[in-house]
Amino acid sequence: MSSDPNEPYVITPSKLTFYETNGFLILNDVLSPTAAEQLQYWSKEVHSWPNVPGRHMAYTETLRDGSIGICRTENYANLWVWVERTKESSED
């Protein structure tokens, strides 16, 4: 993994072949350990939010054991707020 997050992730020929055969990739070391930890923390936070109509949409599914689990959440982040914050921080 490169220490520069702006450097492209290199896909090896064997990974490309795997993708063409299976339709997905397993990418190791894409995130730094710190970034992975932050993403896990944020994901757990979003997962713990109560389901409030009109705020974000949590979709559920029945799990193998018969319990209900969240399979995905939509509209949990305001993209435009993030874009503006990113612009502001890059101007500093």
Distance in angstroms (rounded) separating the CA atoms of residues 33 and 1:
11
Asked if the structure places residue 11 within a domain, the reply is no
Asked if the structure places residue 2 within a domain, the reply is no
Mean pLDDT of the chain: 81
Global pTM value: 0.53
Position 56: which residue type?
H
Asked if the structure places residue 27 within a domain, the reply is no
Q: Taking the CA atoms of 73, 78, 79 and 85 in sequence, report the sign of the dihedral they define.
A: negative
Distance in angstroms (rounded) separating the CA atoms of residues 69 and 86:
33
- Mean pLDDT, to the nearest integer, of 32-37? 86
Question: For the chain, how many structural domains are there in total?
Answer: 1
Look up the domain containing 60 and give its range. Answer: 32-91
pLDDT class of 24 with cuts at 50, 70, 90: very high
Asked if the structure places residue 46 within a domain, the reply is yes
